[in-house]
Amino acid sequence: MTSRYQSPLRYPGAKSSLAPVIARILEAAKGSRSVPQINLLVEPFAGGASASLRLVGQGIVDRVLLADVDPLVTAFWQAAAADTEALIDRMHGEWNQYVKLGGTAAVERWDYWRSWAPARNAKPDTVRLGLATQCLFLNRTTFSGILHGKAGPIGGRKQESPYGIGCRWNPEAIEERLRYVGHLYDTGRLVDVWHKDWKQTLDDVPEYYPQLIPSRVVAYLDPPYIEKASHLYRTSFDPRGGYGGDKAGKMRSDDHMLHMQLAAYLRTKAQFRWLLSYDNNPLLTTSSWLYAHARMTPSRVDRETLGAHSWALTKRLVKMRYTASGKTGKRDAEELLITTLPPSTVPVDHQLRELP
């Protein structure tokens, strides 16, 4: 994979190594009677968007639509797409004035961005660029790229580690990747970036792109982990991450239901094909509240009003290595893939293994 196809963001549990596997699955499905081609790939949990960037860059899909509920992540992708040069200038400015210097100056700048908030009377474009800069700075200088408040600067506050705060900040590489995002937007291959949650995104796609439903659009979903998500994602399904709970991060009675709500929607209401990736957990394929089912089971009303289908659920296991996973560095893990793409097209081999 060339550098420009890579994401400008580092992301917890980033699935860049999974992108070639996803490409295999989508490429195998294309040309079938059910999926003649993939005109649009929708990524409702955009995050680092590493899979989308590769898939559209290699022509596996024609266009991509990114969405994320995190305002920092959304602002970053919107600015990278539509205000590319300004974000590049900001990136170089932060590097030259603070990050490259290291030490106290860089850590103080990290503190500044950690607590920064836009002025109430600021113009929308100014707010967006500020949030995008905040996202990029914290992502590139915080342990494992984590935006959550508990993570500290790379190298620690005293900067005594051989890996300093700027060790993940390569301005030339970041500039190249930002320009690639801007190029995708300018050429219409990145069609939009939405600040919406996964449900609103999946609900709205048929309204914006009715001509592509159901056979020419695919959703790729990479939701937060079943376990420990709040330590990794600023907007994980854990209330401390932003999806559930109140503003103080207190648990509500229905917060544990959020993974189940996603599963129920995908099993019963999804109006187009989807591919889901999860850090494998036995609960995912044994619980009837999640993905133990063999196929989608929409109600008659949803079949008639939404056009939902009873597509089969095909499941595969993939061994991979995470690139930003914790204090021990990279680790091997099994990834679970579930898809409603035509079962006969989904490869099965040493790389894509059937469930035992």
pLDDT tens for 274-295 read 999 998 989 999 999 999 999 9
Three-state SS annotation for 106-155: HHHHHHHHHHCCCCCCCCHHHHHHHHHHHHHHHHHHEHHHCCCCCCCECC
Task: Tell me the per-residue pLDDT of 300-351, one tens digit each, with 9 for 90 and over.
Answer: 999 999 999 999 999 999 988 665 444 445 667 899 999 999 999 999 999 9
> 């929607």: which residue's tokens?
265
Domain definitions of the chain by residue range: 3-69+196-345, 78-174
- How many DSSP H helices and E strands does the chain contain? 11, 7
Topology, domain 3-69+196-345: Rossmann fold (3.40.50)
pTM score of the predicted model: 0.89
pLDDT in the model for residue 153 = 96
Q: Which of 333, 226, 340 is nearest to 289 (CA)?
A: 226
Contact (CB, 8 A) for 307 and 213: yes
Residue type, position 160, single letter: E
* β-sheet bridge partners, residue 42: 65, 219
Task: Tell me the per-residue pLDDT of 191-205, one tens digit each, with 9 for 90 and over.
Answer: 999 999 999 999 999
**Alpha carbons 78 and 173: distance in angstroms, whole number:** 19
**Alpha carbons 198 and 343: distance in angstroms, whole number:** 25
Would you give the end-to-end CA distance of the chain in angstroms? 32
pLDDT in the model for residue 346 = 98
Q: What is the DSSP letter of 65?
A: E
Mean pLDDT, the chain, whole residue set: 88
| Per-block mean pLDDT, blocks of 10 residues, the chain (356 long) | 76 74 97 95 96 96 97 98 99 98 97 96 97 98 83 94 96 98 98 98 97 96 67 41 37 62 97 96 93 97 97 95 52 89 97 94
**Helix, strand, coil share (%) of the chain residues, nearest 5:** 40, 15, 45
- Dihedral (CA of 59, 65, 70, 73) sign: positive
**Alpha carbons 135 and 112: distance in angstroms, whole number:** 12
**Alpha carbons 95 and 169: distance in angstroms, whole number:** 8
